[in-house]
Structure formats: C-alpha cells, structure tokens
Amino acid sequence: MTLLFAELLKHYHLAKLSGVWGASPSDVFAVGQVAEAYGLILHYDGASWAEMATERSGLHFGVWGTSTSDIFVVGAGGAILHYDGTSWIAMTSGTHQALSGVWGTSPSDVFAAGGREPEPCEDVVLHYDGTSWTPMAIPTTEGESLYGIWGASPSDVFAAGGIRVEMGGIPYDSVILHYDGNSWTTMNSGYDSAFSSVWASSPTDVFTVGAGGAILHCAGPPQ
C-alpha cells in the first residue's frame, strides 16, 4: 500500500522534486521522489498542495501537459503515466531506460527523452501520436543519456544530455540533438560537461544549462 505523503516525510525526512508544470495558477503539478524509494505527484489547487494517488510507486522525473485533463509524467524504468482529469493511468513506453524529460505541442504530438539505465545506458527519444509511444531514430553513443527536451514547434525540437566517457560516471561530454520534423541530428555545443535542461522560444533562440554552472545560448540556425 502506498504511504501518504505526510507519512513518507515522517519516515524518511527527505523529499526531492524534479519537475513542475501548470495549467493555471490554481492547477499546478509537481513530481519527484521520497528517499530514493517512492515516486510523488503533488497537485496545487491555488490554496494548498496535496499528494495524488497513482498505481505506480516508481520515481518520477518530468511532467508536461496540454490541459488539466491531459498530463504526462515520465520516470524510472521507462515509466509514463497519463492523467485524464480523473485518474493516473500507466502507459506502455516500450523502453526500460529512465525517462527524464517530456514535452509536446498537442495531445497527439508528445516527445519523451531519457537514458542512463539499465547499464549500459543508452539515450532514447519516444514519440506519442495520440495512440501509442514509438522510439525515434536518433544519433546515439554508448554511455549517452538525455535529461531534457523542449521545442519551439513540432519541427524544431531540442534534447540535451551527456555522454559518460569514463567509468564511475564522470566526466561527461555534452550532447544536444535537434529534430527538424524529419530526423534527429547532433549539434556541436563545444562544451565538455553534461546538460540537464533545455528551453527554446524559436529555432534561433535556445538555452541549455548543466554541470559546472554552464549556460549556453544558441542564437542562430541549428548546426
């Protein structure tokens, strides 16, 4: 039986939230974990936060939606949960790699990105067409993981992460992938550490952030 949020805090004294998304100031969702053991989905109604019940206790890393009745949460072990305004339902992702980021343009155009488990880690990008999730062909390197995904349009999507180049997890080289509506290609960042998040307002205005306090800005066509 899943413990209530207050009970989890009482027992483990630790909560870590890693993603937040809102439909309005009185309809906000935050996702994360407690003590590396239990996944959390919290909802804010404009007055207070409350835990939402799900059928899955695995760790959650990212959340995104189109409305208060169409929300996606991604997490460990390839988990994807969908909220229809009433309940959270587990979706079939087709991967066991951890999914860290999720973003889309509509209920039938959603992307999820991740990697890092199980060993050897391998980056993955999935696409949801309103019916099912399918893997996309991407440039890939052993030890590569993606941590963030965002776009300016359905034909300008960016995913960011890192490639582990030594055993033990460090150091990393950076990874930025770009989708032009037809295929994914690798962009040259010129940076030698992993990125954790990416945001774009247009194809020529993209920001990535990551290890070492890195903030990179792409102010031109994807290359």
The domains of the chain are located at 92-218
Query: Which amino acid would we find at residue 202?
Result: S
CA nearest to 182, candidates 155, 203, 160, 200: 155
Query: pTM for the whole thing?
Result: 0.86
Q: Cα–Cα distance between 145 and 155 in angstroms, integer? A: 22
Per-residue tens of pLDDT for the chain, all 223 residues = 344 555 545 444 567 888 999 999 999 999 988 766 688 899 999 988 888 988 666 789 999 999 999 999 999 999 999 999 999 999 999 998 899 999 999 999 999 999 876 566 678 999 999 999 999 999 877 777 899 999 988 999 999 988 766 555 555 678 889 999 999 998 877 777 788 899 988 888 889 898 888 888 887 666 5
Q: Cα–Cα distance between 49 and 173 in angstroms, integer? A: 38
What would the two tokens of residue 70 be?
A: 């169409």
